[in-house]
Structure 1
Amino acid sequence: MTVQVPALPSDRYAVVAVASSAGGIGALGRLLKDMGSDLPVPVLVVQHLDPRHQTVIAEVLSRRTPLEVKLAEADETARPGTVYIAPPDRHLLVSPGGVLTLTSTELVHFLRPSADLLFESVAGAYGPQAIACILTGSGRDGAMGADAVKSRGGTVIAQDPETAEFRGMPSAAVGTGAVDYVLPLEEISTVIRGLVETKRRG
């Protein structure tokens, strides 16, 4: 059965995409804890996980947030107030209408899932209605995708590298010049809530 998700007005944000890697479980827990139970948009997450082990990330994060947290499934429609996490070794993409896709296509920068691919799909599906957020992590994953989100009129947030457990990913994102907000971790959820609950300025 296809779930019909009411479309948000075009002048409001419709999705939050989050990328994290090393140190990310703790950072995600802190971010989602303060997001509230009535978030009016879905949250799509790429957290780099070891594909050799079964993951319990959804269960771990569920204990830290009032939001529903689950591993993303192919062909499901992203619902507001739900956190969808890319399963280990699968790229997570989203198409217009919020339909999720999982793929095993080639690694990007030696990674699968790839934050760049998620962000690029979010940019294409949502344009200016998208928010991308890059948290702690080593490497550069998410930087190209953040640039794609910004180029389509979306908003990009990065954890302040000085406050990140691993600063590689947020530093690379900031280095693109595409980041709108550089914030300590504890301030990011407040800013996201403020963005998704108010109209975008034209």
Structure 2
Amino acid sequence: MPAENVVAIGSSTGGLVALKEILSQLPDKFDAAIVIVQHMPGFISKSIVNTLGEVTKHTVKLAEDGEVLTPGVIYLAPGGDKHLIVENRSIMLVDGEKVNFCRPSVDVMMNSVAEEFEERTIGVILTGMGHDGAMGIVKIKEHGGYTIAQDKVTSAVFGMPGAAINTGKIDRVLPSYMIAPEFTSIIEQRTFT
């Protein structure tokens, strides 16, 4: 059954530490797909998947073109040469110019997720240099979603979270250890049974 809710996470420098902390706190039953764009070279993508898979009971995998987003599965955009977008509840890896000097770009991923999942989107910006993800956060808020940025104290680099906060479209600024409990609670409140 395709996911009805999605958590879209963008991270860069220092992101692996924050991602491990967040994914280690996921409950056994988690009613959302998680899509992650972590700025990284392509050749380390598989080792990042393995590292993240060690901290959670949920499946962590490299996103593949055409696969349907499934609740409880964590998809990592492959580093390197393609953008990840979501269309018809499915992942598409597409060619395109770099956005914010990045490919894959957090903004590109978040823009597509916001349009696809609307108010059932939670956007999370973690530690990293630059401002990739700030416009994606704006798009998520425009479509009724919920937004979180990592705080300065727990960020290795406050560029990306700071830029997201400066948009005025962040609902909560939280230390990394409070992010998973926050979005888990939001998803539980929004889940229709």
TM-score, normalization by structure 1: 0.90
Query: Do structure 1's residue 95 and structure 2's residue 94 form an aligned pair?
Result: no
Partner SS for 1:69: strand
Task: Choose which of 31, 35, 38 in structure 2 pairs with 1:44.
Answer: 35
Q: Measure, in 2, the Cα distance between the counterparts of 1:109 and 1:19.
A: 13
How far apart are 1:65 and its partner, in Å? Answer: 1.2
Aligned structure 1 segments of 4 or more residues deviating by more than 2 angstroms: 51-55
Alpha-carbon shift at residue 162 of structure 1 (Å): 2.8
Whether the 8 Å CA contact 2:45–2:78 is kept in 1: the answer is: no
The range that moved more, 156-165 or 129-138, is 156-165
User: Structure 1: which 5+ runs fail to align?
Assistant: 9-13
Shift of 1:194: 0.3
Amino acid at match of 1:199: R
Alpha-carbon offset, residue 110 of structure 1: 1.1
1:79, CA displacement in angstroms? 0.5
Distance 2:190 2:43 in 1: 43
2-structure distance, mates of 1:62, 1:44: 14
- On the 8 A contact 2:147/2:172 being kept in 1, the answer is yes
Structure 2 CA distance for aligned equivalents of residues 40 and 146 of structure 1 = 21
Gapped regions of structure 2 (runs ≥ 5)? none
More helix by share: 2
1:64 matched to 2:55? The reply is yes
Instruction: Compute the TM-score of the two structures, normalised by the length of structure 2.
Output: 0.94
Aligned to 2:115: 124
Q: Work out whether 1:171 is the aligned partner of 2:162.
A: yes
Write out per-residue CA displacement over residues 94-128 of structure 1, whole angstroms, 9 at most, x where no aligned residue. 113x2110012111011001000011001110111
The CA distance in 2 between the partners of 1:52 and 1:34, in whole Å, is 27
How far does residue 47 in structure 1 lie from its aligned partner after superposition? 0.2
Pairwise CA distance, 1:53: 5.1
Candidates 116, 133, 140, aligned match of 1:142: 133
Partners of 1:53 and 1:43 lie apart in 2 by: 20
**Could you tell which deviates more after superposition, 34-43 or 191-200?**
191-200
Residues 154-191 of structure 1, C-alpha deviations (whole Å, 9 max, x = no match): 11100012321110000000000000010011001101
Q: Does 1:188 align with 2:179?
A: yes
> How far does the alpha carbon of each residue in 1:127-159 deviate from its partner, in whole angstroms, 9 at most, with x for none?
111100000101100001000000111111000
Give the residue type in structure 1 aligned to 2:111: E
Number of residue equivalences: 190
- Letter of the structure 2 residue corresponding to residue 106 of structure 1: E
AA partner of residue 166 (structure 1): V
Matched residue SS, 2:70: coil
The alignment partner of 1:162 has SS state of coil
